[in-house]
Every structure is written in structure tokens, then in C-alpha cells.
Amino acid sequence: MQNRVAFVTGASRGIGKACALALAGAGARVALAARQRDKLEEVAAEIRSKSGEAYVVELDLASDDSIKNAFTTTAKEFGRIDILVNNAGITRDGLALRMKKDDWNAVIETNLTGSFRAIQQVLQGMMRERWGRIINISSVVGEAGNAGQANYAAAKAGLIGLTKSMAQEMASRQITVNAVAPGFIETDMTNSLGAEVKEKVLQSIPLRRLGTAEDVAAAVRFLASEEAGFITGHVLAVNGGMYM
């Protein structure tokens, strides 16, 4: 992965941060994108402290202008983008009966439409180079569903359909498109779960532990590598066996 250029959305914390660190560790030059610049600067400093190369760019996936600007400035900085990791996402949970239209739209717009727009920004460059890796971070919820998350599950399931369609469109140009579907991962969100809820979650996971952001990042790093060149249109589950 030496000198490949990776663009990671939602890179300021959690899974996105772990992906950025893993790709940088494998030799990629990494563009870190999210809304919070100060948090991105911290991740960039960590990468640079290990002699890696990092570029910070503000990105709001709900804004067309922000998306275009982020990818244009990154391509100018690095010359091209070889690897795209679509990780950024939001939640607006609630039962479908009472879900507001704004909560539905916000999640679909950011998690699904924003990811599609990001893909559009990198396609021409990848086609020119005849090499590319696009990795969409879906979720076990996109495969199995989850009560109270109709909007989030629909967006994550949509990412899987998008992955498979793009894989078919781009294969002749040696661009692979895959998805990673994490299960319950230790994050700020899961840390706030009560002991009883956490225990119930653990009972649903055959490996009897929550995943780590690094578990997901390892899968992303592999799919972004030369070794994964014959894998496309695949959904790699990183869920401890909770959904098979």
C-alpha cells in the first residue's frame, strides 16, 4: 500500500480513526475527513508521529458543495485518490410509528446519499489509473434489521446494494467495491449502555465479546490491499458471529 492515497470519511473518532491509522500504518498517505477539524488534527498528529503522511479536510456529507470541495482539495494535495473508505454516518433512532420525516431524511441523506456522492468524486481518477478500492462501512443492522432504527437499517442495507451495483459497473477498470458490516463494536455509544443491556447484547454474540474499532480496521486494510484484488461486491461481516 506504499504511497497509495486513502480518503477516510468520519475519520475523527471510532472506526474511521482506526481505519485511518491502519491504512497509514500500511504505508498509505491518508486524507482525514469529518466535520470536526480539531479532532482530525489530533488523528493527523498521531499519524505524523509515526512518520506517516496525513492531510486534514473538513467534510459535511449532507452538503454537495462540501463534498466536492473536500475531494477536489485532496486530489490537488496528493495528486489522486486510490482508496475511499465511506465510514461517516449518523443515527436518529426512534420507532417508525413516531419517526419524523426530518430524522428519516437526515440519516438517508448522510449515510447513503452522501456515500454515493463521495464515490462519484473518485471514480474518474480511479478509472484513469485503472486501479481503485472503494470500501463502504455498512452494519449488521443493514443485514438483520433492528427495532427503532428503520432509517439507519435502510441506509446501511442501501449501502450493500450500492456496493454490489458499483462493483459490477467498475470491475472492467480494475476498481473493486466492497462493504464491511460491523456488529456491536466498542465505541462511545456502546460504552453508555447499561450493564443489563450490554449483557443481553453479549449473549447474542457467539464470540461473547464486543468488537473493537481495530477489528473493523483490519478488515478494511485487507480489502484496500493488493492482496484483495480478486474480491469485489463482497460484504465482509465483522460481528463475532451474531449474524451469519
Catalytic site positions: 152
C-alpha cell at 61: 456529507
- Of 221, 219, 212, 215, whose CA–CA distance to 187 is shortest? 212
C-alpha cell at 7: 480518503
Q: Say how far apart CA 44 and CA 152 lie, in whole Å.
A: 29
Residues 6+ positions from 191 with CB-CB distance below 8 Å: none
Task: Give the residue carrying C-alpha cell 489509473.
Answer: 129
Would you say 110 and 156 are in contact if contact means Cβ atoms under 8 Å apart? no
- Type and span of the H or E element at 223: helix 213-223
Counting DSSP H helices and E strands in the chain, the numbers are 10, 7
Amino acid at 110: T
C-alpha cell at 71: 475531494
C-alpha cell at 133: 478500492
- The pairs formed by 96-99 with CB atoms below 8 angstroms and a separation of 24 or more are 96/150, 99/150, 99/151
Q: Kindly tell me the sign of the dihedral angle through the C-alpha atoms of 25, 180, 17, 63.
A: positive
